[in-house]
Amino acid sequence: MRSIKKTTPPRKSAKKGFKTKEPYLFKTIDKTEVHILGTAHISKQSVEEVEKLIQSIKPDVICVELCESRMKSVEDPDYLKKLDIFKVFKERKMWLLLSSLILSSFQKKMGNQDIKPGDEMRKAISLGKSLKKPVLPVDREIQTTLKRSWGNVGFFSKMYLFSALLASLLVKEDVSDEKIEEMKSDDILKDLFSQIPKKYESIKNVIIDERDVYLAEKIRVSTLDKKVKKVVAVVGAGHLAGIERNIDLQNDLSVLDEVPKPKLWDSLSLIIYPVFFAGLIGYTTWSQGGEAGLDLFSKLIYIKGGLAALGALIAWAHPISILLAFITAPIGTFVPIFKAGWVSALSESYLRKPLVEDFERIAEDSETFQGFWKNRVLHIFLVFFLPQFGSTIGTFIVAGKGLKNLF
């Protein structure tokens, strides 16, 4: 895959008789016409232009900036009713779900009652069905994108970026029609990422540049069938320039589908913490006697378990979830795969299953302090974070007390 160079952004075009106010790119690949429309995901005009383009061109194939899993959720209006959040936590996919919910909620806040995020994609899909033409999802799987971006930064960078994501949930912003149209500028995403520190450039590469390549290659592949004479692609306007740079190339997508392997520290941490605390308690027992060792072990249970349980209590978790946080926190010291936050959230998701309206009201409920406790989806994430935070604080306190006694 070659490096991406800056080029002149695609201009609005009226080629082949189609006129549009939206960012638009026309290409011919072999003898196949490719019409690529750039949209804003919360724009009423974008929805209208998608309909005009498809009705005017009568394409043989329609490509949409969705991955297979997101396309299923867009096609199925009842997908939230079928979402098993207990299974999400059981399979440890809570970070992926949370990132997706934050993005969806942020877009919903910027939209209005008439337009929902992704309505232009829904319009393209429905038109494809009515015309009996194939609709192809050409984006990379959202889980792969999140895992690749998440795997490219360290722990503190994760916390920085995650706090920025959470902050976006707490901001209520009324966006004018003019601002929405400005979002269709091909440079809007570049402007957004130019404001974050240089060390997070790898995140931008994964979320924007890699997907430009992915979208371009998938659109190009859709033209290889000799029966296909016309292709319409509906993508976010921020990807248009990158697609133009790459659509005439052949790119190996298997490289972009690879998920980063766990880093060395992630593997070592599973050994270091148990060995450190076992060694600390063992050495305390050897140097100061069994009573001192038992006292340190008791502190590990009551301080770490107590702070984890306190976090669950503050989150107003179910009593069973609070108890599990208390029990799991000290156990997790020696068996790191057990996390107090994870176990308590797993319990909460089973005991207090979210309702469909909880998912639908995430954007509204996240605007108020009380909403995080009222909304069952947001509440489960509170039950995940607060016990885990308490457990982590407890780890440092107990380690500090143990080392202080030795020296």
Is 229 among the domain residues?
yes
Tell whether 250 and 378 lie within a shared domain. Answer: no
Tokens of 228: 């296909």
The pLDDT score that the predictor gives to residue 45 is: 83
Among 42, 8, 36, CA closest to 22: 36
Summarize the confidence of residues 341-360 as an average pLDDT: 81
Q: Which two tokens stand for residue 33?
A: 């016409």
Q: How confident is the model at residue 1 (pLDDT cuts 50, 70, 90)?
A: very low
**Range of lowest pLDDT (192-206, 265-279, 355-369):** 192-206
Asked if residue 202 and residue 152 are part of one domain, the reply reads: yes
Query: Is 70 exceeded by the pLDDT of residue 147?
Result: yes
Residues 271 and 305 in one domain: yes
Return all residues near 62 (Cβ < 8 A) that are at least 6 apart: 54, 124, 125, 127, 128, 133, 134, 135, 136, 231, 232, 233, 234
Note the Cα 188 to chain centre separation in Å. Answer: 19
In this structure, the answer to whether residues 226 and 299 fall within a common structural domain is no
State whether 240 and 275 are in the same domain. no
pLDDT reading at 174 higher than 60 = no
Pair 23, 35: CB distance under 8 Å: no
> Where does the pLDDT of residue 102 fall: very low under 50, low under 70, confident under 90, or very high at 90 and above?
low
- Does residue 2 fall inside a structural domain? no
68 and 182 share one domain: yes
Among 87-101, 150-164, 386-400, name the most confident range. Answer: 386-400
Q: Which of the listed residues 232, 256, 280 is the one where a domain comes to its end?
A: 256
Assess if residue 9 is contained within a domain: no
Residues 152 and 247 in one domain: yes
CB 144 within 8 A of CB 207: no
Q: Is 8 inside a domain boundary?
A: no
Residue, of 43 and 123, whose pLDDT is higher: 123
Instruction: Compute CA distances 317 → 88, 95, 160, 230, 236, whole Å.
Output: 18, 20, 26, 55, 40
Number of domains in the chain: 2
Instruction: State the pTM of this model.
Output: 0.69
> Are residue 121 and residue 201 in the same domain, yes or no?
yes
* Domain closes at, from 256, 280, 299: 256
Domain of 335, in residue numbers: 264-406
Please check whether residue 301 lies inside any domain of the structure: yes
Of residues 297, 305, 292, 294, the one with CA closest to residue 277: 297
Tally Cβ neighbours within 10 Å of residue 89.
25
- 172 has a pLDDT exceeding 90: no
Alpha-carbon gap, residue 99 to 115, rounded angstroms: 22
Q: For residue range 111-146, what is the model confidence (pLDDT) as tens digits?
A: 455 666 678 888 999 999 999 999 999 999 887 887
- Pair 293, 159 in one domain: no
| Per-residue tokens: 10 | 């695609």
Instruction: Round the average pLDDT of the chain to a whole number and report it.
Output: 78
pLDDT tens digits, one per residue of 280-310: 888 889 988 888 889 999 999 999 999 999 9
Beta strand 32-39 pairing with 24-29: antiparallel
Q: Please report, rounded to a whole number, the percentage of residues in the chain having pLDDT higher than 90.
A: 31
CB 390 within 8 A of CB 311: yes
367 and 247, same domain (yes or no): no
CB 181 within 8 A of CB 40: yes
Instruction: Pick the more confident residue, 7 or 52.
Output: 52
